[in-house]
Amino acid sequence: MLKVGIDTLSFYTSHYALDLETLAMTRGVDLNKYHVGLGQRKMSVAAPDEDIITMAANAALRAIQHVDINSIEMLLFATESGVDQSKAAGIYVHDLLGLPERCRVIELKQACYSATLALQLALPFLRQHPDKKVLLIASDISRYGLETSGESSQGCGAIAMVLSANPRIMAFDSEYGVVTANVMDFWRPNYSNAAMVEGKYSSKLYLSMLEKTWKQYQALSGRNFTDHAYYCYHTPVPKLVEKAHLHLAKINGYSALAEDLLHDHIHYSLEYGRQTGNTYTASLYIGLASLLDLAKDDMAGKRVGFYSYGSGCVAEYFSGTVQPGYKKMLDTEYHQRMLADRTPLSYAEYETFYTFSYPEDGTNCEIPRYTLGRFRLAAIQDHKRIYETVS
């Protein structure tokens, strides 16, 4: 069967971050609640002139830099932070990047799962049209109320992947396990800017859906736990992933997974997430970027297991194999420099960013310049978002 999968990938996050030590001091909370209880260190905070579109365009600009853009015939944009109830966010990105006119564009929504659906929609298209490419983007801003239990897991970021036949980074296997259930563990009504979550219930569902989707995947693929060298999980918080992987090991007969094996399986995939916070649809694939960038061993020929979970809920288990020569296609230096160069926010600055609001009555608004990225949200005029490219 023709190989299809990831040809290039890059991720982007805000140039501003709040250290959870600052949040702990302000809230009067033991820092270990965040560092140990959540496994989280920092959270990226979007500036007022950043949104899912500017982050998406910045990530995609890197992903397409060595690709013939005339071969991109589809742009799939996954998000749960949509800026318009009608127009797809990808239309703005299509324009900012100067993509060809002959290009399908759509926005997909199902909590943190929709990027995986986008991936699965793209793969059959690429098998049928091996000379074409698909640009898949996942971009989100995770928001909970100030002083709520979810505040410390907020974050923002975007991942962009060019998908193709004969990919240079990862080829995906055809087998998968998938489960859907109508539950209310996490949601955001149209009238709310912040998500609502039943944290313990959501964590319980995350684990039960992992077991169900894994067993489907295992039955269809015939693969066992030890047939995967590495694992990537959707990461609301890193501690939940550690718990989930131990649970997966246990149901496969490994009741006491050695600390070094646990480290090898998931450690590298969690590092970028520890620094950015929850990025919703982008989270699983930022985890893949983290794994590919940071793993010490050569991963060529190694299989990676993927668990995608979107509250509400849809969950899927699938896998892929890293391709020979993948390191030449990575954006490792850019990713690490971007994370290292972020500006630390004081608590007051964080709250100023958090409480900034765009007009909803048609009032014109010029937005102050904060971002250091190539694209920014410059203004709101007559209910329209105005974006600009920064030289």
- How many angstroms separate the CA atoms of 69 and 176, rounded? 30
SS3 state at 256: coil
User: Active site includes 80?
Assistant: yes
Q: How many C-beta neighbours within 10 Å does residue 170 have? A: 26
Catalytic residue among 15, 50, 73, 80: 80
DSSP assignment letter at 367: P
Catalytic residue among 94, 234, 245, 265: 234
Catalytic residue among 15, 112, 265, 271: 112
Is 300 in contact with 324 (CB distance < 8 Å)? Answer: yes
- How many angstroms separate the CA atoms of 336 and 158, rounded? 15
- Give the max Cα distance, the chain: 61
- How many angstroms separate the CA atoms of 111 and 206, rounded? 13
Pick the closest to residue 73 from 36, 93, 103 (CA basis): 103
- How many angstroms separate the CA atoms of 314 and 81, rounded? 18
User: Active site includes 365?
Assistant: no
Q: What single string gives the DSSP state of each residue in 100-120?
A: -SS-EEEEE-BTBTHHHHHHH
Report the catalytic residues: 80, 112, 234
